[in-house]
Structure 1
Amino acid sequence: MQNLIIFAHTFWKDSKVNRALLEELKNNKNVNVHNLTVIYPDGKINSVKSEVELLKEADNIIFQFPLFWFSMPSLLKEWQDLVLTDILHGSDSKALKNKTFKIITTAGGEKSFYDSLDFNISEILSPINVSFKYLGLKIKEPFCIYEANKDNLPIKEYLDIFK
């Protein structure tokens, strides 16, 4: 199974948690980490066709990002707007059918904070999931690391996602 992580982070230079997570994957041959923040430092997704090809090669597509204002970083949203629109209106709108999609996110707050809201983390992330479900992907439950800091990372659980 080929796992493709589409990753973005607004403050990548200062990242400790997501850097540590991605570092754990560097020798995993089943995971392709596609860091949009590094690939498109100007914030412009200028290679939509190659992005689509990456998705076609993957079995499992994973968005990984730190939660910003109850959503994804703007670069990841830009990617979603351009790439998924290209698929939907392109010659192969069923290209991702039956692949799986999952969100991995990190949150600075405690789980109890998110549980106290009117919406749990699955509901907060549902607009992202709906976009992929619309294209025929099977949606997996999100994996959220609450109170994320470099000293409390659930590395084993994180790595188990890619088995």
Structure 2
Amino acid sequence: MAKVLVLFAHPRPDTSEVNQPLFQTAQAVEGVSAIDLYAEYPDFGIDIDREQARLVAHDVIVFQHPLYWYSAPAIMKEWQDLVLEHGFAYGLHGKALQGKIFLNAITTGARPEAYSTEGMNHAELRSLLGPFEKTADLCGMRYLAPFVMFGAGRAREEDRVTVHRNAYDDLLKALVADRFDLDKASKAALLTDVLDDFILKGEAV
């Protein structure tokens, strides 16, 4: 069984129609530690020792957040800058995160067609998340394709929230149970819509 850490960042969760329900889903999954960074550090006074201990204690790290300017909300950048220290996360003696799994669980405002070489952003979503992937590489972690809901601002009116919550629940439970095809997921463009293709059936591997 794997231990999964979900680090959630949304500056206005009270207005969130998708991310807050997804976070509630994560909180309910046995084997998942779900942390609301803005609630825990409203003044951005991040406890580096506590956060590093959390990373050491878990096998899978999930950054859950809306996509802001092709990145994450401010506190998540602050968290990375302070917690992923040289000598801890990377460098000659920075081996604490070696072999752990990392992925982004995100929402976007734009529709999926915007995230293509022909679309508005002229790039696929995974390539836009390159800084997260390179961070994982530097820290010796395995980066998985992002789990994403596109067009989140219209998800409630289009009745897509419950389906996506159920998929997130399936994803987290498969990660906890070690029933996820990590090799396949590390090479994919996205996990969404074909999630069942990555979940291994039967006993944990």
TM-score scaled by length of structure 1? 0.92
1:160 matched to which residue of 2? 170
Q: Which runs of 5+ in 2 are unaligned?
A: 175-205
1:51 aligns with 2:51: yes
Superposition CA RMSD, Å: 1.7
Asked whether the equivalents of residues 12 and 37 of structure 1 are also in contact (C-alpha less than 8 Å), the reply is no
2:81 matched to which residue of 1? 81
Note the C-alpha offset of 1:70.
1.2
Asked whether the equivalents of residues 29 and 169 of structure 2 are also in contact (C-alpha less than 8 Å), the reply is no
Which digits, 9 at most, give the CA deviation of each residue in 1:32-56, with x for residues without a partner? Answer: 11110100011232x1011000000
Which digits, 9 at most, give the CA deviation of each residue in 1:86-126, with x for residues without a partner? Answer: 52479951011001001110012100112212211101111
* Distance in 1 separating the partners of 2:27 and 2:83: 25
Q: Which runs of 5+ in 1 are unaligned?
A: none
Show the 5 A alignment for 1:61-140.
Answer: 61-85=61-85, 87-88=88-89, 93-115=94-116, 116=119, 117-140=121-144
What count of residue pairs does the alignment treat as equivalent?
162
Asked whether the equivalents of residues 89 and 96 of structure 2 are also in contact (C-alpha less than 8 Å), the reply is no
**CA 1:43 to 1:12, structure 2 compared with 1: closer, same or farther past 3 Å?**
farther
Note the C-alpha offset of 1:152.
1.1
* Distance in 2 separating the partners of 1:83 and 1:103: 17
* Distance in 1 separating the partners of 2:151 and 2:135: 27
Asked whether the equivalents of residues 5 and 32 of structure 1 are also in contact (C-alpha less than 8 Å), the reply is yes
Note the C-alpha offset of 1:17.
0.9
Alignment identity in percent? Answer: 31
Which digits, 9 at most, give the CA deviation of each residue in 1:124-163, with x for residues without a partner? Answer: 1110121121110011111111011343121222112112
* Distance in 2 separating the partners of 1:107 and 1:2: 27
Report the residue type matching 2:151 in the other structure.
E
Asked whether the equivalents of residues 6 and 61 of structure 2 are also in contact (C-alpha less than 8 Å), the reply is yes
